[in-house]
Amino acid sequence: MEEYTAQESTPVFQRIKDYLVGEIVAGRRKEGDLVPSEQALVRQFGVSRMTVNRAVRELTAEGVLTRRQGSGTYVAPQKYQATLVEIRNIADEIRSRGRIHRSQVRLLREEPALDELAAGFGLTPGMSLFHSVIVHFENDVPIQVEDRWVNPACAPHYLEQDFCTITPNEHLMAAAPLQGATYGIEAQPAPDDIADMLAVEPGLACLVLHRRTTSGGRVASTATMWHPGHLARFTGSV
């Protein structure tokens, strides 16, 4: 059974991954540095060894970390930072199919960053981040819930935008030109709030995209995007 935090629907293993990548992006852990042991991460996050092992194993498979037998786990040469990933605007994707895009803003405000989230941005806990939750529709069918956190230092006017006329992607590409991105895709059952926004039954299988973008040497935003599994198909190029 997957472990979740009490406050959020994000699996804890993903938050551990976000924390470790955030430490690297913020420069607190550099290439060749030893990362905390699995037992230390178990104590820090208060979760099972299996959950921590999954996070470390996936980061190793993604080339972010490297394991040395009998020695420990280290920060790998960061080849992923040079990988260019095409990030398309969902509104453009929908229009390219000859259909109509609209969006509904469910949340747009400033919030203090909790410990792991702050670490992912390289910030001190309690510092402010911008938080938005937006539902994207294709021909009036909800196809994506975009839950995004934004670094005010990268996009200071984020809260002033009308996200019914432009998308966060459009604003961020102008305000914080893309330097790099990391992402992951997984299948998850829709929790009640996501199911409500997608107009589906709770527990329906969804494809979930987790994406972090950097700009100017800082983490600019992190986004978790939920898509009904029966409607979603991801394609891309690197």
- Residue-range domains of the chain with CATH: 12-80 (1.10.10.10), 83-228 (3.40.1410.10)
Q: What gap in Å lies between CA 81 and CA 27, rounded to an integer?
A: 13
Q: What gap in Å lies between CA 99 and CA 94, rounded to an integer?
A: 6
Which residue's structure tokens are 């607190």?
28
Q: What gap in Å lies between CA 2 and CA 10, rounded to an integer?
A: 10
Strand-strand pairing, 205-215 and 180-189: antiparallel
User: Which mean pLDDT values do the consecutive 10-residue runs of the chain (238 residues) have?
Assistant: 49 86 77 92 93 91 84 74 52 86 97 92 93 96 96 96 95 88 86 95 90 89 90 56
DSSP 83-116: -------HHHHHHHTT--EEEEEEEEEEEEPPHH
pLDDT recorded at residue 125:
92
Closest CA to 133 of 102, 104, 107, 164: 107
Q: What gap in Å lies between CA 37 and CA 55, rounded to an integer?
A: 12
Q: What gap in Å lies between CA 97 and CA 116, rounded to an integer?
A: 38
Note the pTM of the prediction, 2 decimals.
0.64
Task: Kindly state the tokens that stand for 44.
Answer: 């820090």
CA distances, 230 to each of 143, 144, 198, 208 (Å): 10, 12, 12, 12
Q: What gap in Å lies between CA 161 and CA 202, rounded to an integer?
A: 31
Is 152 buried (19+), middle (13-18) or exposed (0-12) by CB count in 10 A?
middle
pLDDT recorded at residue 146:
97
